[in-house]
Amino acid sequence: MADILHRIAVKTTDIAAVYRTLVTLEGLKAWWTEDTSGEPGKAGGVIAFRFGAGGFDMQVTELVSPGLVQWKVVAGEPQWIGSVITWQLKETDGYTVILFKHQGWKEATEFMHHCSTKWAIFLMSLKDLIEKGKGAPTPRHKDR
Amino acid sequence: MADILHRIAVKTTDIAAVYRTLVTLEGLKAWWTEDTSGEPGKAGGVIAFRFGAGGFDMQVTELVSPGLVQWKVVAGEPQWIGSVITWQLKETDGYTVILFKHQGWKEATEFMHHCSTKWAIFLMSLKDLIEKGKGAPTPRHKDR
């Protein structure tokens, strides 16, 4: 098993605003992919994230405002199915810190390496959304 | 044990140019930290990377032009000591792909999460250095 782990500090004490970027369609569309639908704000709800032809369906497995969000991948890219994405938020020294985990990869494939880098890029998009008012979601983000 | 893994595709078929950003002081200074000294181009050589007050000394443990570079951390931040950084380069479809591994973390600490995100940011600096002629090394890079 292999994990993708990241940490990013967003310059805001408004932890609820960061939480909203994870639990509302408006928030998710503004930093990850504009083609997002479903029920991100409801435990047990399913969110459909689409990136052109492909994408993922995630079930919301934990939702504790404003500090914890967890999703389980239930459909989409085979390597992602069954993996779990956890967001932990905490306020510290004038920042809202996000601890991000994408766990449960069966193998450390080249695609997993790619996803690790892309998650960092999208976390920066989320940071820019809060700090500058504008993220860079798919398809607007520059392809890396 | 936990690993940081990344993959980035640099739009160039000049794999040797990408390799040079890892094995020359000029290259390393242009994407990671301007305060770099030592012998990056010699197996067994030691490279001193400094970021303001802190930093790392790495010993070059593998050097196979133009596809493989490996460093072992021999001094600096305690969590990094003994860990190993591996760079694998390959040309594919008009890109030079970098597979990056920072392995041998004893624990998945919050600092490790932070380093994972920062490595992605510096890999983008390396990509920009090749593609646009300008990276964003410390201290010029925007603090994330």
Q: Which pLDDT value is given to residue B53?
A: 82
**Strand B54-64 relative to strand A46-51: parallel, antiparallel, unpaired?**
unpaired
Q: Which pLDDT value is given to residue A1?
A: 73
Question: B85 - beta bridge partners?
Answer: B71, B102
CA distance B53 to chain A (A): 21
3-state helix, strand, coil in chain A (%, to 5): 30, 40, 30
How would you classify residue A25: left for phi > 0, otherwise alpha for psi between -120 and 50, otherwise beta? alpha
How would you classify residue A48: left for phi > 0, otherwise alpha for psi between -120 and 50, otherwise beta? beta
Dump pLDDT digits (tens) for A26-84: 999 999 999 999 999 999 999 999 999 889 999 999 999 999 999 999 999 999 999 99
Tokens of B79: 């969590």
Residue A115 domain-assigned (yes or no): yes
Q: What is the identity of the amino acid at A31?
A: W
Any residues with CB less than 8 A from the CB of A110 and at least 6 apart, and which? B7, B99
Residue B80 domain-assigned (yes or no): yes
Any residues with CB less than 8 A from the CB of A93 and at least 6 apart, and which? none
Give the mean pLDDT of B114-133. Answer: 97
Residue A110 in contact with partner chain B when CB distance is under 8 A: yes
Residue B6 in contact with partner chain A when CB distance is under 8 A: yes
Tell me how far apart the alpha carbons of residues A7 and A27 are, in angstroms, rounded to a whole number.
19
Pick the closest to residue B24 from B131, B139, B126, B143 (CA basis). Answer: B126
Question: What residue numbers bound the domain in which B33 lies?
Answer: 2-131
> By CA distance, what is A124's nearest residue in B?
B144
Residue A138 domain-assigned (yes or no): no
Domain with residue A6: its CATH number is 3.30.530.20
Give the mean pLDDT of B21-36. Answer: 98
Q: What is the identity of the amino acid at B70?
A: Q
Q: Which pLDDT value is given to residue A140?
A: 79
Look at B2 and A6 and tell me if their CB atoms are within 8 Å: no
Distance in angstroms between the alpha carbons of the first and the last residue of chain B: 26
> By CA distance, what is B10's nearest residue in A?
A144
- Output the CA–CA distances (angstroms, integers) from residue A75 to A115, B34, B35, B118, B127, in the order listed: 17, 45, 46, 30, 32
Residue A90 in contact with partner chain B when CB distance is under 8 A: no
Give exposure, B32-68, as e/b (b: 16+ Cβ within 10 Å). bbeebebebbeeeebbbbbbeeebbbbbbeebeebee
Quick check: bond before A139 cis, omega within 30?
yes
Confidence of residue B140 (pLDDT cuts 50, 70, 90): confident
Dump pLDDT digits (tens) for A80-135: 999 999 999 999 999 999 999 999 999 999 999 999 999 999 999 999 999 999 99
Residue from the list A6, A110, A112 with its beta carbon closest to the beta carbon of B116: A6
Residue A139 domain-assigned (yes or no): no
Confidence of residue B57 (pLDDT cuts 50, 70, 90): very high
Tokens of A32: 């990850």
ipTM score for this prediction: 0.95
> By CA distance, what is A142's nearest residue in B?
B124
Residue A108 in contact with partner chain B when CB distance is under 8 A: yes
Residue B85 domain-assigned (yes or no): yes
Residues A96 and A106 sit within 8 Å (Cβ to Cβ): no
Tokens of B18: 């990408």
> By CA distance, what is A125's nearest residue in B?
B144
**Number of separate domains in chain A:** 1
Dump pLDDT digits (tens) for B2-13: 899 999 999 999
Q: Which pLDDT value is given to residue B119?
A: 98
Q: Which pLDDT value is given to residue B90?
A: 98
Residue A144 domain-assigned (yes or no): no
Q: Which pLDDT value is given to residue A53?
A: 82
Residue B136 domain-assigned (yes or no): no
Residue B8 domain-assigned (yes or no): yes
Query: Residues A71, A106, B71, A118: what is their CA dihedral angle, to the nearest 10 degrees?
Result: -40
* Best residue of A102, A109, A113 to probe chain B, by most B CBs closer than 10 Å: A113
Tokens of A28: 């998710």
Confidence of residue A142 (pLDDT cuts 50, 70, 90): low
